[in-house]
Amino acid sequence: MQSSIHKYFQIGTIQWMSYPLRDPMESLTAIAKDDFFDVIELKGFGSAEENEKAKRILEQSHLKVCYGAQPRLLGPKLNPNALDETERKKAEATLLEAIDEAEYLGARGIAFLAGKWEESTRDQAYQQLLKTTRTLCDYARTKNMTVELEVFDFDMDKAALIGPAPYAARFAADMRTTHPNFGLLADLSHFPTTYETSRFVVQVLRPYITHFHIGNAVVRKECAGYGDLHPRFGYPNSANDTLELLDFFRVLKQEGFFRAEDPYVLSLEVTLRPGEDEEIVLANTKRVIKRAWAMLED
């Protein structure tokens, strides 16, 4: 493409994935100083004082702020589709808190993920997730904010209730009947973990996608980095590299997601393997993005 990728997408990075080793305020400052990025996805900074410091940096930066609530669930193993109401309410409560924190930091919504599930109780878990998500969307709507559900693997690592893609589409359709401020977050890293292709996922989820992530995964059990670990592009025995990202861009172009007047957020979700360097892995990702984009036909 002759036009810049920044014409068609707001390019972001996920702070806690790109900089897992550095002090959060230092990494926030580094991203704010890097004009490759239009967006930062963050998770909050642990205290009112640190959030205030972050807010001052963000206000200077002209970065769009997105809030990822996934760590609020994954760390303490909370489940928004738990059959036990007490457990479901715990997940719901932290996600409602996330909406408030996101608003304070300047984000206009949150993203989260479904919890684990069992085959015998899948339908009940689905109804529980609808209940949680509708509560979140009701609250977010009072603040003119959105709620996004990220589509994860269902049997490999996170084993989340949502996806694969057809199941995610069913859930999104149910949500959209009552809550237009709901959307799906589609992640290239997860397509191999749900045994799906870019074309299949994007076409199935097309009416509901509001946000994109890109990255990589290892899906061979016998290999290092197996699962939903988001290694760098080109990692040994992994599924995604430059050509897979090029294919993803082609699909997005063909399916009408190149929207210069109101670009979608497209964030890189890549992190370190043991012994790797944050800045090198981040540079690796930028190189792959630039090369895949350069190869894309006008």
SS (H, E, C) 167-208: HHHHHHHHHHCCCCCEEEEEEHHHCHHHCCCHHHHHHHHCCC
pLDDT band at 86 (very low <50, low <70, confident <90, very high): very high
**Contacting residues for 222 by C-beta, under 8 A, at least 6 apart:** none
Query: What does pLDDT average to over the chain?
Result: 97
pLDDT band at 252 (very low <50, low <70, confident <90, very high): very high
pLDDT band at 175 (very low <50, low <70, confident <90, very high): very high
| Average pLDDT over every residue of 214-239 | 97
pLDDT score at 7: 98
Distance CA 169, CA 28 (A): 34
The set of long-range contacts for 132-135, using a CB threshold of 8 Å and a minimum separation of 24, is 132/80, 132/81, 132/88, 132/91, 132/92, 132/95, 133/80, 133/175, 133/179, 133/182, 134/175, 134/178, 134/179, 135/92, 135/96
pLDDT score at 243: 98
- DSSP string for 74-95: HTTT--TT-SSHHHHHHHHHHH
Distance CA 27, CA 9 (A): 23
pTM: 0.96
pLDDT band at 217 (very low <50, low <70, confident <90, very high): very high
Q: Which of 191, 193, 179 minimizes the C-alpha distance to 252? A: 191
- Directed axis angle between helix 85-105 and helix 122-141, to 10°? 30
pLDDT score at 278: 98
pLDDT score at 48: 96
In contact, 143 and 98? CB cutoff 8 Å: no
Neighbours of 158 (CB within 10 A): 20
55 sits in which H/E element: helix 48-61
Report the top-level CATH class of 5-295. alpha beta
Neighbours of 26 (CB within 10 A): 10
| Average pLDDT over every residue of 110-116 | 98
CA atoms within 13 Å, Cβ hemisphere of 225:
21
| Average pLDDT over every residue of 170-199 | 98
The neighbouring-strand residues paired with 111 are 68, 148
Q: Which two tokens stand for residue 285?
A: 């990702």
Predicted confidence (pLDDT) per residue in 12-42, tens digit: 999 999 999 999 999 999 999 999 999 999 9
Domain range annotation of the chain:
5-295
In contact, 133 and 88? CB cutoff 8 Å: no
| Average pLDDT over every residue of 258-273 | 97
Region for residue 107 given its phi and psi (left: phi exceeds 0; alpha: psi -120 to 50; beta: otherwise) = beta
pLDDT score at 264: 98
Neighbours of 130 (CB within 10 A): 15
Question: Measuring CA to CA, how many Å separate 54 from each of 59, 62, 81?
Answer: 9, 13, 32
In contact, 284 and 230? CB cutoff 8 Å: no
